[in-house]
Amino acid sequence: MMPKAVEAGARLQVSHRDSFLILAPHCDDETIGTGFLISEAVRCGCRFRVAVVTNGDAYVYAAGTRYKRLRLPPEKHIEFAYLRQKESLAALQQLKCSREDVVFLGYPDRGLMAMWREAWEPDHLYRSPFTRADHSPYHNSYTSRAPYCGRSVVDDIQKLIVSLKPSYLVVPHPRDAHGDHVATFCFAIYAWQELRRQGYRHEMKILAYLVHRGTWPYPRGLHPGRTLAPPLSFYRLNENWLSLYPQNNAITAKYRALQQYKSQMSLQSRFLLSFVRKNELFCLYTPQRISGLVGPEHKSILIGGNTADWSEKQALSFPEPVKDTITRNVEQGADVRTISVHADMGYIYLQLETNGRIAGDFVFTIQLVSCSKPRRSLQLRFIVPDKVYMKSGHLWYATKEIVFKVRGKYLEMAVPRRHLAGAGCVFIYAETGRGRLMVDRTAWYVLFLPSSAGDSTVPVYATAHRKEIPEVATVFCRAFLPEIRRVLDGREPSLPMLTSLFEFLYTAEPGALLVAKADGQVIGYIYAPASLRHLWKTAFLRGYILRWVGYWLIGRYRFSFHALRTILMDKLYFVHHALKDDIEIDQRILSLGVLPERRGQGVAQELVRHALERFRTLGAEQVRLEVRPDNKPALHLYRKAGFTVKKVIGDTRGEWLVMVKNLRHEGD
């Protein structure tokens, strides 16, 4: 079964009004991927230019075959590169392309991805291990002595775009298996987007061609009567593929052109001739835009919450090829199936869905690159289950700024936008592995985001990690300090005691503890268990009550017998009302707290909303809570959320209002 566009016969039509800028990573890709397009452009009298980004000087086996040595000095690699240039010119001559329409940029073979990801500025150059050069050593490079850095590649591509003003920019496919091809795609899109940001208004369409992807094209060898179709693993990606069917003599011309690559044909003739088919394939590529995710009506995503939350918030989802290598068939927990992206004023939210359950020793690396001035690049490494590192220079260091959660087949995270200078255009990429074994690499996705300076005060909401429990206890202490002091006869609360309490609550039902975080710190929490009975069962059967009494007896909690009596009596009243109560609701909001300085900013409202959404997902019909009558802000919050007062109960310190919300036949 073919993708819809190919199956329906969607064709690329070339007319004399079209113009093309074709970017080829190596000397042969221009013929392999776009030979028919060049022939049609010549036939129709189109303006076009072929730009070969590298000279293929790092193809060790081909160079070794020619010079009868596997290890070659730098000058031999350079000599081999000039040979490959001559082969490209001879091949393009077979396609009727003139020498004036071809330029060689002269950048390092097998070094483009390193320049894209790391060596960006002229003060941090990439040095080729083959030519030992950090500037182009070729006399015919488009820019003489071009420095080996990403900025220089972008500048060259921008000059070509501005001078030619093409209607089509033809680039390698972002899912090509060769790093130089993917990097060429990234450089081209970056150059185009930067020009647009600077006021360049000429419109272009992006055509992407595929060369390297596993055993594709299948079958290998010369099959001029067959139709070229995308790889089988691409069929679920919903890409818009176009076929270019040339004149009959163009097939013969492409075959003769490929024969000119003598240094390549001796090693991989079956692969090269696989592209002599009835057609060439091009994917019509369009960067995606995230919009409508800011403003007062915006509802945040809960990291580690319900996966349906992402589709409800209109997050963009990008399917990835699965099970297309032996490694990905074995390590399915690291085989990325879908990437979903969402954004607000403060964060970029990412969700990676894998083809199997994520195991405890998988490593996920995420890179985000901003199309801004200055360019920002953020590399993150997630070590399952709860470690995250950020790269600075050549070093990785632990960070608390990134909120992430692993749950089953999903890895979810929130990345502060201030690290990307609030850029409106961002490149996103992910790779996975197990130990030192690389398992999967996604495409580089180009996304337009709502403009933002990266507001670090905007909270992000997530299910809690166990390691965040001390911070939750601190928030509880600060949020309820006056009341805690009254219970403890004026003494300061014991943080170990509160931490132990929240350890118990988390152990009883981990998913019930939700937190709000800003600047890497917990600023609010809510504990909303789905089963109060299970909570009491855990307290008795796991010995928490005896443990707390024991700690009090040895003086660890440092409060008086009177305070202990008050706490125990209040809990007995609570149990009494629970047993005698005519409102039998097991789902409760037991505790909600926000730091005093963060109140009035909607944090508690969002925490309550996420707790209620969780209850709906679990199939609850009603939710109950208790609140003091004099707690006016909390009463206003709960009434706004749809809770109503059902009855009044009491304990040693006064009255509680029992409030209930009906979730049946209701949607927020």
As for how many domains the chain has, the answer is: 3
| Distance (Å, whole) CA 280 – CA 277 | 7
Confidence of residue 196 (pLDDT cuts 50, 70, 90): very high
Structure letter (DSSP) for residue 232: G
Reading the block at residue 355, the tokens are 């083809």
CATH number for position 416: 2.60.40.1190
> Does residue 217 have a cis bond before it (omega within 30 degrees)?
yes
What CATH number is associated with residue 24?
A: 3.40.50.10320
Same domain, residue pair 278 and 307: no
Q: Is the pLDDT of residue 542 over 80?
A: no
List of residues 6+ apart from 542 with CB closer than 8 A: 504, 507
Q: Are residues 399 and 309 in the same domain?
A: yes
Element (H, E) at 310: helix 308-312
Could you read off the pLDDT of 460-469 as tens digits, one per residue?
999 999 999 9
pLDDT band at 545 (very low <50, low <70, confident <90, very high): low
The more confident residue out of 462 and 8 is 462
Residues 569, 451 within the same domain: no
Q: What is the pLDDT of residue 573?
A: 54
- Domain region containing 560: 461-662
pLDDT at 299: 74
Could you tell me if 415 and 518 lie in one domain? no
CA–CA dist 658, 622 (Å, integer): 13
- Is residue 314 domain-shared with residue 260, that is, in the same domain? no
Q: What is the pTM of this model?
A: 0.90
Predicted confidence (pLDDT) at residue 540 exceeds the cutoff of 90: no
Q: Is residue 122 part of a domain?
A: no
Residue 569 Cα distances to 22, 376, 451, 590, 651, angstroms: 79, 58, 54, 18, 8
Residue 450: the pLDDT is 78
**Domain boundary pick from 238, 255, 286:** 286
State how far the Cα of 576 lies from the Cα of 344, in Å rounded to an integer.
46
Angle between helices 532-541 and 544-553 (to 10 degrees): 50
**In-domain check, residue 144:** no
pLDDT-derived band at 535, boundaries 50, 70, 90: confident
The tens digit of pLDDT for each residue in 477-497 reads: 999 888 877 777 677 777 888
DSSP letter at 100? G
Task: Name the pLDDT band for 411 (thresholds 50, 70, 90).
Answer: very high
Residue 605, φ and ψ in degrees, nearest 5: -60, -45
My answer on whether 267 and 247 are in the same domain is yes
42 within some domain: yes
pLDDT in tens, 32-52: 999 999 999 999 999 999 999
CA distances from 36 to 99, 279, 642 (A): 18, 8, 65
Is residue 12, in this structure, part of any structural domain at all?
yes
Q: Is the pLDDT of residue 546 over 90?
A: no
Asked whether the predicted pLDDT for residue 13 surpasses 60, the reply is: yes
Residue 668 lies in a domain: no
Share the mean pLDDT of the chain. Answer: 89
**Contacts by residues 192-197 (CB-CB < 8 Å, ≥ 24 positions apart):** 192/161, 193/287, 193/371, 193/425, 193/446, 194/154, 194/158, 194/371, 194/373, 195/158, 195/161, 195/162, 197/371, 197/372, 197/424, 197/425
- Give the pLDDT confidence of 171-189 residue by residue, as tens digits: 999 999 999 999 999 999 9
Residues 238 and 317 in one domain: no
In this structure, the answer to whether residues 465 and 582 fall within a common structural domain is yes
Choosing from 416, 440, 456, the residue where a domain stops is: 456
Distance CA(519)–CA(513), nearest Å, equals 20
How much is the average pLDDT of 118-143?
Answer: 96
Tens of pLDDT, residue by residue over 647-659, are 888 777 788 899 9
